[in-house]
Each structure stands twice: as structure tokens, then as C-alpha cells.
Amino acid sequence: MHAPGAMVGQVSASPRRGSTMIEFCLSVALWTTVLMGLSTVGLNLIRALQVEQICRDAGHLYSSGLDFTQSGNQNLLLMLATGQNITATGGNGVFIFSTVEYIDTPQCTAGGLAGNSSSCPNLGQDVIVQRVVVGNASLFSSPFGTPGSGLIGASGNIPSSDYLTNSSARAVGFGSVISLTGGQVAYLTETYFSSPDFAWGNYMSVAGVYDRKIF
């Protein structure tokens, strides 16, 4: 017989310990994911700041007339991007240099065409008159368009006969960024660097870093 009020038995603490362990494991899985994401975003933010500075310096050089089709100048460019794993034709980054000009009637007539859209199809358009790419060209394409490969000469220049008439030479959407008038030229530098070193295998991919400067 048990005395009145006496406890018949005690609940084992083992189930409680098991539940606590499950909760702890689930919590660790959640917070590990959050910490991985935060660390990845933080590291990529640091890279974004580096890429912004690299793009600014490269843009200054390009707008000053440095020819990046020359290997010596390409080496200087790669020095600016030290630590970003980029080569003149490959790696994890790419530089896209473009000279953009607004085409008005005088530009058409200077190219031997009449000042109308029938004779000069790119009249009233921003066009790319030079395009130079250094790095891994397959990584990224400019949102402002890519002239046909047959239009671009060894020095990156596009002949007036092409940029006045060929629609692939148009700098699509450039006018929404900066407004040029007839004959004005802008020097556009775009950089893109991927971040495979910040990815977590197949578990978490990381977007690359893009920046542009216009002079």
C-alpha cells in the first residue's frame, strides 16, 4: 500500500534529454545555414568594394587613352586586379571597355552617308565605336550589347561604315544611363568577377560582382 499523496513513480528524464538533443540539432542546422550565408555575403561585399576600386582605376586609364589591346598595358591592368585570379584571356574576371558615341547628322555625312535613317540606320543612336575585352570573355556580356565579332578590328576599333549602319553596334539602353549629344563620346568600363571561392560546393552558389564606370 502506498501512503496517501505518495508519488507512484517518477517520469524518466531520458525522453526529455532526447527531445532537447533533437531541438539542439535542428537549431544548429538552422543557425549554421544562416552563418554560412552571412559569411558568404560579407566576403562578397568585401570583393564588391575591391572590384569597384579596380573598375575606377581601369576606367581612368582607359579614358586617358591607354590601349588595352597591348600586352604590356594588359599586364598593368592585371596588376590592378592582383588577388582576383584573372589572366589576359581567362580566370575568374573580365574587363569590358567600350567607347560610346552618339550619332547625329554630321557623323553620318562624315561617313559618306545621307543624314537620314534610311541611309544611316544608326542616326539618333548611341553606338559602340570601340570594344576591348580583357579576361574571361565567356563569364559575362555587357548589358549594353555586344557588337558582332566581325566588326571589331585588332585594335578594338569598329569602322564607321559599320557603326553607322550595323544595329549590333548600338549601345542598347546607354541613353538611360547618360545622355549624349551629337558627336559626344563616353568611355565605359565594366568589370565582372565571379566568386567561386566563396561558394559552398553544390549547397550554396554565389553571384558574381559587377561594376561600371563612365568617364
Under DSSP, the state recorded for 125 is -
Residue 152 lies in a domain: yes
Alpha-carbon span 201 to 36, nearest angstrom: 12
The answer as to whether 117 is a domain residue is yes
Containing structural domain, residue 62: 45-214
Indicate if the pLDDT at residue 33 is higher than 80. no
Long-range contacts of 36-43 (CB under 8 A, 24+ apart): 36/200, 36/204, 37/204, 40/198, 40/199, 40/200, 40/204, 40/206, 43/195, 43/198
Residue 141 located in a structural domain: yes
To the question of pTM greater than 0.75 for the whole model, the response is yes
pLDDT 10s digits, 44-94: 577 789 999 999 999 999 999 999 999 999 999 999 999 899 999 999 999
| 96, pLDDT greater than 60 | yes
* pLDDT score, position 23: 65
pLDDT-wise least confident of 9-13, 120-124, 156-160, 196-200: 9-13
Q: Mind listing the pLDDT tens digit for each residue in 108-129?
A: 999 999 999 999 999 999 999 9
* Predicted pLDDT at 25: 65
Q: How many structural domains does the chain have?
A: 1
Q: Residue 56 falls within a domain, yes or no? A: yes
Residue 124 is assigned to a structural domain of this protein: yes
Q: What is the mean pLDDT of the chain?
A: 85
Please state which of the ranges 41-50, 98-107, 167-176 shows the lowest mean pLDDT: 41-50
* Confidence band for 208, pLDDT divided at 50, 70 and 90: confident
Q: Is 14 within a domain?
A: no
pLDDT at 159 over 70: yes
**How many residues are recorded in the chain?**
215
In a domain, 74, yes or no: yes
User: What is the pLDDT confidence band of residue 160, given thresholds at 50, 70 and 90?
Assistant: very high
- Indicate the DSSP class of residue 197: G
The 126-135 sheet, strands edge to edge:
126-135, 93-102, 185-193, 209-214
